[in-house]
Structure 1
Amino acid sequence: MSNQNQLYNLLMSGNETAWTGTSWVMEYDRVFEYTHPQIKRQFEALDDTALAALMTLPTLFAYEKYVGASARVGRITGIIRRQKEFAFTFNFDNIAAPIPHDRLMQLLPALDIDPKMEVNRSHWAVKNIDLASVLHQAGLLPSTMLGPLRRPPQTFISYSWDSPEHRAWVTQLAMTLRQNGVEVVLDQWHVRPGEDLAHFIARGVRESDRVLMICTETYVQKAQQRQGGVGYEQMLVTAQMMREVGTAKFIPIIRQSSHSRQLPDELAGRMYVDLSDGPEQHSNLQHLVRELHDIAVSLPPLGQRPF
């Protein structure tokens, strides 16, 4: 059994934008290619325990040889099971600079990467190599340690398909959250044609740290009448709120044009964040980002008794 500190993930992709987007996918039949059988046996169950262990390993995000782009070092922050593939989310380690393609080619033997076949095939391998030590000796890392990266908060966005404009607004909100270090699970990014939408919704609500419920007038109406995907999500939310009465997992996000704000009955009385068009939209968005990162508001110092 190998020491976990001596292992690293290699994610090799032929997609030139793989490490610049929101997530990345890997077909199940490409998992653990070019991995020693003894190492593979540690993780081949690919159950929750195995995936959690793999996410603790440092990861080399590389491109196939013909792409010629720089590699990055970081961690896998989330793994979502799909029908035929895994979907990954990831973070890069800021202390490790991008590795130029030519420099990476020179390090292939030290990294246990086959220079003929492996660099020409998208795959996920686990290597029995101390990645930090190799990069440090090559002058690409200031120390022989790669510290653990804090997992970004994962947020699921629940919304109704009111209009193309509203879907674009939701996408922009998701992009803004990602730019501020919040991992977002969004159907537009994570559901492929033919996938089970109900399963995606149930998993997103269950596994995410927080759920943003974009409460437009149409959303509220569908939630009240239990219509479509919104109605299904509302049933899941209601069930979890009944089990965990004091939970703050579900955050109503108001986007409405009328002055009298509406919420589904299950969310009535809960503190909401108003992102409707107006002068306070930006400050309210910053407040939401702080909340998702669990950053408490600083209290003023407690003064002396006046008497």
Structure 2
Amino acid sequence: MINQENLYQLLYKENWKEILDILYEEKENIKNDTLLTFASKTFENEFLKKVQEYEIDKIEIPDYLQTMYILHHGKFYTLSDENYKQLIVEIVKRKSVQEAYLYAIKFPEEEICKDIISKYEHEKIKEEGLKLKKVEKLPVNWIEIYNRLFEIINHPEDTATYFSGPRFIDTVRKFEPYFPTYPQFIEQRNNEGKSTSRKIFYYDILLGLNENSRNNIIKRILEILKPFEANKVQQIENIIGGEIVTIPSSLEQKKENKNPTIFISYSWDNEEHKKWVLDLSDKLCTDGINVILDRYYLTPGKNLPHFVENNLNKANRIIIIFTPNYKLKADKRTGGVGYEYSIMNVDLYANQTSNEKIIPLLRSGSTEDSIPTFMRQFIHIDARNDENFLNSYNDLVREIYNEPEIKKPELGTKPIF
């Protein structure tokens, strides 16, 4: 077992990778040993202090910072609040704007994070323009609706109902977060030679958004105005009738969506295994299952952590395809597999007795060789025998659709004796 002196010696030599490995491998001992806990906290403070002194282009430092981030989010080692913020700041310093943005939004009040967020949004504007699209659908009396609305929000002397340019665009950004800020929008309008009259550009913005966003922005503005101009708001709502709809919650969306969404977590063992996983994904799609697979979406330049974090939450179920190589990467928390497994474990640890999200599937190797220890408590689907693939596949699809082959019959009545 490691002791605190070993940690201090590694700390003195600045052997950061070895210490980070110890934080994971000895996590239980560290939690239960006061001296080891203290030594770990000393490392945490000294490491982040030293990182600030290193050159930004020191190659190995981003990997160390990323490892510490994964340890913290996987709840294998918990940083103090102040050090977590410092960790995020140091990661932001060393990432490209696109990658740094995903971390910067965690602490948007920090100066360097503000700068990255601003640069990212500016690049988005250049790349996507103002996100104004061709009009899809408008209420029949759209012009009357807009004129009545603008009449209410166009009184500067009434601070409650007046919508200045910044206030209007801030409302838009609640539903379209990548929409430009007010200064960026005005700069773009000037560059394009378009009018910056509020009545004209409010109209252009609403007209150019998708129907769902436009409806919800108008609904939100009317909610703000109603306590002050109830009669006028009611008149607008009467004209709109049933045109405006509210964005359903994520739970409601899942209930309404008859096609389940699944995320597949696997390791790129070899070309044969990658093809097997791709074929499985294609077959699931043909059976009405929306599959989130990295090979469908990730191309060079795309951000892997963002893809994983964003899509794991979207999925109704997660299929983990276990192989010896998957277990190796999951145990060491390396690569995309390590990152995915760390995030999934957080949810699993919290819901050990009621796992209704993750479906373990054993593709190769023995249970001991291929499935991490913690995951062995869950019943898995055995897909190692290709000759029996259809039976395994049928079990998988039934599980995804929650249609078990064997169902308990309804409880009858007591027989007459």
TM-score normalised to structure 1 length = 0.52
Q: What's the CA shift string for 1:46-72, capped at 9, x where partnerless?
A: 76x789xxxxxxxxxxxxxxxxxxxxx
1:277 to 385, 392, 409: 385
Conserved in 2, the CA contact under 8 Å of 1:32 and 1:126? Answer: no
Task: Look up the match of 1:298.
Answer: 407
Q: How far apart are residue 290 of structure 1 and its match?
A: 1.3
Q: Which amino acid aligns with 2:383?
A: L
Task: Look up the match of 2:359.
Answer: 251
Pairs within 5 Å for 1:169-184: 169-184=276-291
Q: Which amino acid aligns with 1:201?
A: V
SS in 1 for 2:302: coil
Task: Look up the match of 1:67.
Answer: none
Range with bigger deviation, 236-245 or 156-165: 236-245
Task: Look up the match of 2:19.
Answer: none
Task: Look up the match of 2:314.
Answer: 207
Label 1:279 to 1:261 Cα distance change in 2 as closer, same or farther (>3 A). Answer: farther
1:220 to 313, 323, 327: 327
Q: What's the CA shift string for 1:253-290, capped at 9, x where partnerless?
A: 11015586731122111011111124432112111111
**More strand per residue:** 1
Pairs within 5 Å for 1:103-252: 126=211, 150-245=257-352, 246-252=354-360
Give structure 1 regions of 4+ aligned residues with deviation exceeding 4 angstroms: 27-32, 36-41, 44-47, 123-128, 257-261, 300-307
Q: Give distance in 1, aligned partners of 2:130 and 2:401.
A: 34
SS in 2 for 1:161: coil
Q: How far apart are residue 221 of structure 1 and its match?
A: 1.5
1:34 to 134, 138, 155: 134
Q: How far apart are residue 213 of structure 1 and its match?
A: 0.6
Q: How far apart are residue 151 of structure 1 and its match?
A: 3.7
CA-atom RMSD, angstroms?
3.9
**More helix per residue:** 2
Q: Give distance in 2, aligned partners of 1:193 and 1:305.
A: 68
Q: How far apart are residue 292 of structure 1 and its match?
A: 0.8
Q: Which amino acid aligns with 1:176?
A: K
Q: Give distance in 2, aligned partners of 1:217 and 1:264.
A: 9
Q: What's the CA shift string for 1:86-144, capped at 9, x where partnerless?
A: xxxxxxxxxxxxxxxxxxxxxxxxxxxxxxxxxxxxx996499xxxxxxxxxxxxxxxx
Q: Give distance in 2, aligned partners of 1:294 and 1:153.
A: 10
Larger radius of gyration: 2
Aligned length: 191
Label 1:30 to 1:302 Cα distance change in 2 as closer, same or farther (>3 A). Answer: same
TM-score normalised to structure 2 length = 0.39
Select the structure with the greater relative contact order (CA < 8 A; seq sep ≥ 6).
1
